[in-house]
Amino acid sequence: MNRFRSILARIAGVAGLARGETPKRIEAQPRLANDELEERVRTRTAELTAANRALEDQVTARVQAECALRDSEERFRQLAEHIREVFWVYGIAEERLLYVSPAYEDIWGHPVQSLLERPLEWVEAVHPDDRPRVRAAHLEKLESGVFDQEYRVIRPDGAVRWIWDRGFPIRDLAGHVYRIAGLAEDITARKLAEDQLRRQQVELAKTSRLSLAVEMASTLAHEINQPLAAIVAYAQACLGLLRKDGIDPRALTGTLEEIVNQGLRAGGIIRHLRDLVRKHPAAQTAIQLNALIRAVIHYMQLELRQAGVEPRLELADPLPAVLADDIQVQLVALYLIRNAIEAMNEAGDEPRELTLRTTLDSPSTVLTTVCDTGRGLDAKAAARLFQPFFTTKPNGMGMSLSVSRSIIESQGGRLWATANPDRGFSFHFTLPVHSAQGDSRIVPSPPPTL
């Protein structure tokens, strides 16, 4: 290097002398050239060192990323191979399954390798009744990337398994679907439970219909007994009058009319129960609720007297007409009043007070309340009050309140119960106000007709 510098100095000196430069200036030129060269070397060395350091950092980051990827793949593999569901990945470009977890062997009963070699093996195992639908969904999946099907598969041993198979698309940075990943879950246990539940519901429906028929027969006997008893009483009164000498037959007109009314009432009860069983649509008309309640109380006078119950009527007047089926609402009132009588019969020597109240609950609904002074119910029993077959009575069927709620709801109203502050229970039901022209007309309640 020193020799090189010496040669450069001589060359520069000769060149300088040739240009007529002084010896001092000639001596300074080699030093300047040397300094410039050294500066360039230092700069280039620094650049190479920085590039080498950046390369080292990149290599380190790449190694770390590869290690993290291997760890992630290992965790994914362990997860996929130990879950009960079949995890699968389908490649759009490859047009084949790229991965299937080992759970496939447990559910389908075939080796995973055979599925990778024969990609449609899983479809061939699908139950013949489900196969066309699953094939069509599989072809649609290749276009949309979405798959969601429940189907049956037949294992090699002949066992049938229910599968819930769903897939979702995986998109690249450009938004194109290039993978479809999914899970196929064995839902055989759930399907068997659902099937068992359906069978139980069918059996329950049969039992419910049978119990309802028994309840209807019991109700029919009870309801018919009242008008028949009234007919017998009125007929006996007529016979007693006829046995007397000099009786004017015209004096029997009122009694005979009562016999006719009670006979018509019995026929109406029979028709109503028959229509209810046959599920004929209710004939809704404008009815005066106060008059209906007074008529029901009149019909039940004998039963009320035998139970020692004195009804108290708190009927709002005037009250708008309601839109409902009069026979069905009458049946509900009979059920609720009889339920109140039975509740007070269980109360021993406590006062037996039955209150029936009507009021305009809102511009569009009328509220009716039947309040008793029985022993009431605890919170657990009250919560089940309207469930079919639930009863607190030894010989009860547990259908009257359930049927009553169904009737009221079919009329567009609601039926519920609340505990009284002191004792007993109150049953409330609403019915829609009848509106012929979009507004409610409040009219005085007419006197009851029998």
Mean pLDDT, the chain, integer: 78
pLDDT band for position 444 (cuts 50, 70, 90):
very low
The pLDDT of residue 359 = 93
pLDDT, tens digit, 9 for 90 and up, residues 109-123: 999 888 888 888 899
pLDDT, tens digit, 9 for 90 and up, residues 19-36: 555 556 656 667 777 777
Q: Please give, one letter per residue, the 3-state secondary structure of the chain.
A: CHHHHHHHHHHHHHHHHHHCCCHHHHHHHHHHHHHHHHHHHHHHHHHHHHHHHHHHHHHHHHHHHHHHHHHHHHHHHHHHHHCCCEEEEEECCCCEEEEECCHHHHHHCCCHHHHHHCCCHHHHCECCCCHHHHHHHHHHHHHHCCEEEEEEEECCCCCEEEEEEEEEEEECCCCCEEEEEEEEEECHHHHHHHHHHHHHHHHHHHHHHHHHHHHHHHHHHHHHHHHHHHHHHHHHHHHHHHCCCCCCHHHHHHHHHHHHHHHHHHHHHHHHHHHHHHCCCCCCEEECHHHHHHHHHHHCHHHHHHHCCEEEEEECCCEECEEECHHHHHHHHHHHHHHHHHHHHCCCCCCCEEEEEEEEEECCEEEEEEECCCCCCCHHHHHCCCCCCCCCCCCCCCCHHHHHHHHHHHCCCCEEEEECCCCCEEEEEEEEECCCCCCCCEECCCCCCC
Which CATH code fits 83-186?
3.30.450.20
Residue with tokens 């006979």: 263
Cα separation, 282 vs 268, whole angstroms: 13
pLDDT, tens digit, 9 for 90 and up, residues 341-381: 888 877 666 778 889 999 998 889 999 999 988 876 666 66
Percent of the chain with pLDDT over 70: 72
425 versus 82: which is more confidently predicted?
425
With b for 16 or more beta-carbon neighbours within 10 A and e for fewer, the 272-305 pattern comes to: bbebbeeeeebebebbbbbbbbbbbbebbeebbe
Query: What tokens appear for 157 in the block?
Result: 């041993």
CA dihedral sign, ordered 167, 172, 174, 176: negative
The pLDDT of residue 438 = 44
CATH number 1.10.287 is the correct assignment for the domain at 193-280: yes
pLDDT, tens digit, 9 for 90 and up, residues 298-318: 777 777 887 888 889 999 988
pLDDT at 390 exceeding the cut of 70? no
pLDDT at 87 exceeding the cut of 80? yes
The pLDDT of residue 82 = 65
pLDDT at 328 exceeding the cut of 70? yes
CATH superfamily of this structure's domain 282-443: Histidine kinase-like ATPase, C-terminal domain (3.30.565.10)
pLDDT at 218 exceeding the cut of 70? no
Greatest CA separation for the chain: 180
Phi and psi at residue 244, to the nearest 5°: -80, 145
The pLDDT of residue 84 = 83
Nearest to 329, CA basis, from 376, 282, 260: 282
The pLDDT of residue 290 = 92
Cα separation, 396 vs 114, whole angstroms: 64
The pLDDT of residue 443 = 38
Where in the chain are the domains? 2-76, 83-186, 193-280, 282-443
